[in-house]
Amino acid sequence: MNVKLSYYSLARITLFLTLILLAIISILSYQKIYDLINFDKKVIHTREVLYKFERVVSILKEAESGQRGFLLSGDSLFLQTFNNSKLKLDSLIKDLKLLTIDNLVQTHKIDTLTMLIQKRYELMNILIHLVSTNNIKNEDMILSLRIGKNVMDQISGVIERSQKEEEDLLFIRNKVKDSITTLTPFYILLFTFFSLILILVSYFILIREFKKKIIVQKDLENKIEELNRSNNELEQFAYVASHDLQEPLRKIRSFGDRLVYKHSDLLDEDGKFNIQKMQDAAIRMQKLIDDLLGFSRLVRSENKFELTNLNELVASVLNDMDEIIKSKKAKIKVEKLPLIFSVPSQMHQLFQNIINNALKFSRKEVPPEITIHYAIVKGNEIKDIKPSNLNEYFHRFIISDNGIGFDEQYLDRIFIIFQRLHGKMEYGGTGIGLAVSKKIVLNHAGYITAKSRPDSGSSFYIYIPENLKI
Q: How far apart are CA 465 and CA 457, in angstroms?
A: 27
pLDDT of the residue at 405: 86
pLDDT of the residue at 18: 74
CA 230, chain centre distance (Å): 40
- Yes or no: say if 410 and 421 are a contact pair by the CB < 8 Å rule: yes
451 CB-near residues (< 8 Å, 6+ apart): 408, 458, 459, 461
Instruction: Name the CA dihedral angle for 47, 49, 50, 55, rounded to a multiple of 10 degrees.
Output: 120
Q: What is the pTM assigned to this prediction?
A: 0.48
- Yes or no: say if 299 and 248 are a contact pair by the CB < 8 Å rule: no
Please report, in tens digits, the pLDDT of each residue of the chain (470 residues total): 444 455 667 667 777 777 787 777 778 777 777 777 777 787 888 888 888 888 888 888 888 888 888 877 777 788 888 888 888 888 888 988 888 888 888 888 888 888 988 888 888 888 887 777 777 677 767 777 788 888 888 888 888 888 888 788 888 877 877 777 777 777 777 777 777 787 777 777 778 777 888 888 888 888 888 777 766 766 666 666 656 666 777 777 777 777 777 777 777 777 777 777 777 777 767 666 666 666 666 655 566 888 999 999 999 999 999 999 999 899 999 999 999 989 898 899 899 989 998 898 888 888 999 999 999 998 877 876 766 666 688 999 999 999 888 888 877 778 776 555 554 545 555 567 788 888 889 888 888 889 988 888 899 999 999 876 44
What are the DSSP E strand ranges found in 335-444?
Answer: 339-342, 369-378, 393-400
pLDDT of the residue at 425: 47
Sign of CA dihedral 423, 428, 431, 433: negative
pLDDT of the residue at 1: 43
